[in-house]
Structures are given as C-alpha cells and as structure tokens.
Amino acid sequence: MDMRTVRTTSGRGRIFDSVLDTVGDTPVIRINNLAPAGVQLCVKAEFFNPAASVKDRLALNIVEAAERSGALKPGQTIVEATSGNTGIGLAMVCAQKGYPLVVTMADSFSVERRRLMRMFGAKVILTPRAEKGTGMYNKAVELANQHGWFLARQFETPANADIHEHTTAREIVGDFAGHRLDYVVTGYGTGGTVSGLARVLRRERPETKIVLAEPANAALVSSGISQNRGEDGSPAASHPAFEPHPIQGWTPDFIPFVLQEALDSKGFDDLFTIPGPEGIAWAKNLAAREGILTGVSGGATFAAAMRLAEKAEPGTVILAMLPDTGERYLSTPLFQDIHEEMDEEELALSRSTPGYQMG
C-alpha cells in the first residue's frame, strides 16, 4: 500500500432492520504469516456474526423455523442445553424477538458465557459437571416437559444443518467461485456445520475434501462406537469414548443426531484428532502472528488445517472454520498465562522515561 493511501469505507449501502439481519456473510481471511510457503491457507471468521459465533446462524433458524411451523407460540419460553455459544445466540435472538429464554449448562464451561447470556436477559441453570453434556441436556428436557416450554433441540433439529446448507455453504461457494478450494476443515459441536456443508460441496464442489476434527481424548467418531439413542434421536447415554477436554464447544459426551447425517452419508473425507494444548497453542499463534482472535475450538480447527498445510503440495488451498471469538475464553486455560500486571520487560520500558510510573 502506498504510504500516502488512507483506508476508507463507505458503509454497506443499507440500514438493517434488526441485529438479526446481520447474521451470516462472514468474511474469509487469508493467513499471511503462519501458512507454509506455497500453500494458501484461509479462515472463515464466524466471530463476525453479531453475537460472535457460528451458532448465531442456527439459533436464528431454530426460532424462525419453529415460528413458521407453529411449534413456537408467541411469548412462549424457549429452553435449551448448551456449552455457551448456542445459548448466547439464542439469547440475542430471544431478546430481539421477545421470547423468554432459559439455558441449562454444565458448570464446567467458562463464566463469560453465563454472564453474556444473562446480559441478554436469559436465565442460566447450571448442572453438575460430573453429569457432563447429557446432564444439562436432560435438565432442559425436564424443564420443557414440566413447564410446557419450547425445547430448541439443537442436537437433533433439521433447522441446524439446514441453515448451514443455505447460508454458510453458499457463502463459501460464492467466495471461492472461480478459485481453487482443496480442503474445508471444521470441528463439530452439534454437527450442523459439517452436515450442511457436505450437502452443498459434495454436489457443487466435489473436488473439495471436507476434513472433520475432534478432541484427541474424546475421539467419539474415531472410536467407531455408535451412539446409543432414544427414538427421537436424543442421546440415551454418555458415549463410552468421551473424556473431559478443554476444547469448549467441540464434542459433547455424545454423538449428536445432526452429525449422524454426515457419518451415514460419508460427508467428510478425513478425520483428525487434536489435543487440547495444540488447539490452545494455535489460537495464541493466530492472535500474536495474524491479529485474529479466536477461541480454543478455532485454534483446534486451525491446528488440523496446519497439519494439512504442512504436507500439502504447492498451490493447495485450505479453508478452516473459526467458530467464535477468544474473548469467550478469558477464564479458561487459553488465557491462564496472559498476565494482568506489568512483567519485567514492561516495567523496564516504563522506567526508561522518568514520568507517569506506577508506584
């Protein structure tokens, strides 16, 4: 860029009717400093959604699909089990549309998530971490049955993969129109992203391989063990391959019914397992080297993309999904070695001039 050139903007050419109209159309961003030579590595930055995660998409579609079908009545309370991002997305949607929201969440997830949902006006019911994801799920079912509330059912509803088919996948096809795209890499929480992407990419970009990633110590899909389910697709029990892991938003203690579509249809081409510390390390690298702030799930997805990139032929193009923002992880291991007070180097810089020093 010419040193005399100043970046300018001119608006989007429209006034949005509500915050909900800003969901989607998130940018694809080239990685410049971390990508291996000769490989084009990009990320789809889902933290550009208004409540800062990919789950804004499914939250909006769950509510609007239920409104269209009549399953959700005006003013009816919505209840859902979530590790946080779906709950935050639902809280945003419910605030705008005027629905009360109750969220159930295991107490192991970051406190930032609770506070954000409550900031949007939701009620947050904590469940014991020892009961894992199935515990918070079953609590939501109990509350829905007891009080006649609408259960969002993000892990089973067709509205989940549908929104990724009609928005996320269409955006990728549009952004890479006329360009090479060899791999798309994603983790799974509910499985909606991979299932929705597979519907479109298998048909319109069959040369593009889809890579799924999951935690190394909770490799449910890799285990080959099927999920025990109820008749409605809900988890009947915790999956035997699950262990607690630090990649919040990835892989509950069951294989979601929404993901089962991708498993049954061979909707992905390869499967990587990522240790939690590796995801944390790459999230930090993205922030420090690219100026891209994502959470542990984004770092873990990027870790899988980097494994591909490091072995890829020159010219390979890889897209990694970044589900959310790093600010959702301030109280987690992602930030545990990010200090609040000045370190020795910062103190030395402060003392290099005489004024305005801390006592």
Domain residue ranges of the chain, discontinuous segments joined by +: 19-48+167-227+236-335, 55-151
DSSP-derived secondary structure for 38-52: T-EEEEEEGGGSTTS
Task: Report which DSSP code applies to 235.
Answer: B
- Span 232-250, mean pLDDT? 94
pLDDT at 298: 98
Spatial CA neighbour of 105 closest among 88, 81, 121, 122 = 81
Two domains, one topology: 19-48+167-227+236-335 and 55-151: yes
Q: Where are the alpha helices (DSSP H) in 213-295?
A: 220-223, 257-264, 276-285
Classify domain 55-151 at the CATH topology level.
Rossmann fold (3.40.50)
Residue whose structure tokens are 């939690």? 276
Token duo for residue 289 = 């080297």
At 192, the pLDDT band (50, 70, 90 cuts) reads very high
- Angstrom distance (rounded) from CA 334 to CA 108: 15
Percent of the chain with pLDDT over 90: 96
Tens digit of each residue's pLDDT (9 = 90 or more) over 12-71: 999 999 999 999 999 999 999 999 999 999 999 999 999 999 999 999 999 999 999 999
Q: pLDDT category, 2, cuts 50, 70, 90?
A: low
The region of weakest confidence among 3-7, 184-188, 253-257, 305-309 is: 3-7
How confident is the model at residue 1, as a pLDDT? 54
Report the Cα 34 to chain-centroid distance in Å.
21
Q: Is the pLDDT of residue 271 over 90?
A: yes
CA 214 to chain centre: 13
Give residue-wise pLDDT tens across range 65-109.
999 999 999 999 999 999 889 999 999 999 999 999 999 999 988
| pLDDT confidence tier of residue 3, bands split at 50, 70 and 90 | low
What are the pLDDT digits (tens) for 123-153? 999 999 999 999 999 999 999 999 999 999 9
Please state, in angstroms and rounded to a whole number, the distance separating the CA atoms of residues 25 and 40: 21
Q: What pLDDT was estimated at residue 83? A: 85
- Average pLDDT across the chain, whole number: 96
What's the CA gap between 80 and 119, in Å, rounded? 17
Q: Residue 110: what pLDDT?
A: 86
289 has a pLDDT exceeding 90: yes
pLDDT of residue 5: 85
183: closest CA among 35, 295, 81, 50?
A: 35
Predicted pLDDT of residue 4: 75
Q: At what angle do helices 276-285 and 296-311 cross, to 10 degrees?
A: 90
Q: Active-site residue numbers? A: 55, 297
Tens of pLDDT, residue by residue over 21-32, are: 999 999 999 999
Domain 19-48+167-227+236-335: CATH architecture, name and number where available? 3-Layer(aba) Sandwich (3.40)
The whole-angstrom separation of Cα 144 and Cα 123 is 14
